[in-house]
Amino acid sequence: MLKRQSDKMEEPKKMTSTILETTTETIISTPKRKSWVLIIFLSIITLQFTNGIIQTLFFADDLHWLERIIIFIISTIVIYITLKGILWQIKGVREINISSNELKLSKLSPLWTKTKTYRLSEVKTIEIKDETLSEGPLAMYQILKIIDKIKITFTYGYETIVATSGIDMTEARELKSIIDNKINISRE
């Protein structure tokens, strides 16, 4: 006999981004969407090259010392790059920092941080780009969360800059309105 589960009310989804407003700046932090397929793929590569280092250093007596050094250096570089990718997937955060006259975009990860600073006076149109694809190889990447469908971008000179991504359309509209308000307040 089937039991009927109690009717539960669905809870509304909360924003994935966090917003911190102070008197001098606004900080919007958006965590990276995790692609478990990419994390597993990069983990396998990391394990293979780690095994290559161990095999080269301890068990390959027939290799010349120069060959061992070359394999060690190449393997170390590949391990660093793949670990950087894994940590970006697991702990990565995109941060938008709007202050009185500048906009900072940061990518924060345990192994590296990349920050770019833009003058607010040069920031032009802020847009939400929906790059959803229904077919082709890029559509598969979107399904696997390797690339993001929705992005908030702005025009800076003759360049389009991605401010953040990995969010849904409702959150993108909310963040766009916050960014628009802060930039317009700073220009006045």
pLDDT score recorded for residue 46: 95
Long-range contacts of 180-188 (CB under 8 A, 24+ apart): 180/126, 182/26, 182/98, 183/98, 183/103, 183/120, 183/123, 183/126, 186/98, 186/99, 186/100, 186/101, 186/120, 187/120, 187/121
Q: pLDDT digits over 140-174, tens only?
A: 777 777 778 889 999 998 999 999 888 888 999 99
Q: Are 98 and 183 in contact (CB under 8 A)?
A: yes
Output the CA–CA distances (angstroms, integers) from residue 143 to 149, 159, 173, in the order listed: 9, 28, 22
pLDDT above 80: residue 186: no
pLDDT score recorded for residue 16: 86
Instruction: Look over the chain and give the mean of its residue pLDDT values, rounded to a whole number.
Output: 87
- Percent of the chain exceeding pLDDT 90 equals 46
Which residue's entry shows tokens 């317009």? 184
Most confident of 6-15, 107-116, 143-152: 107-116
- Cα separation, 91 vs 164, in Å, equals 15
pLDDT above 70: residue 5: no
CA of residue 91 relative to chain centroid, distance: 9
Who has greater pLDDT, 134 or 57? 57
The domain ranges of the chain are: 18-32+92-187, 39-88
Stretch 83-99: mean pLDDT, rounded?
93
DSSP 55: I
The residues near 137 (Cβ < 8 Å, ≥ 6 apart) are none
Q: pLDDT digits over 92-101, tens only?
A: 999 999 998 8
Which residue's entry shows tokens 């990565």? 92
Grade residue 138 by pLDDT with cuts at 50, 70 and 90.
Answer: confident
pLDDT above 80: residue 7: no
Output the CA–CA distances (angstroms, integers) from residue 25 to 38, 60, 69, 181, in the order listed: 35, 57, 49, 12
Checking DSSP bridges between strand 150-156 and strand 26-31, what pairing results, if any? unpaired
Q: Which CATH number fits domain 18-32+92-187: 2.40.30.10, 2.40.50.100, 3.40.50.1370, 2.30.29.30?
A: 2.30.29.30
pLDDT above 90: residue 116: yes
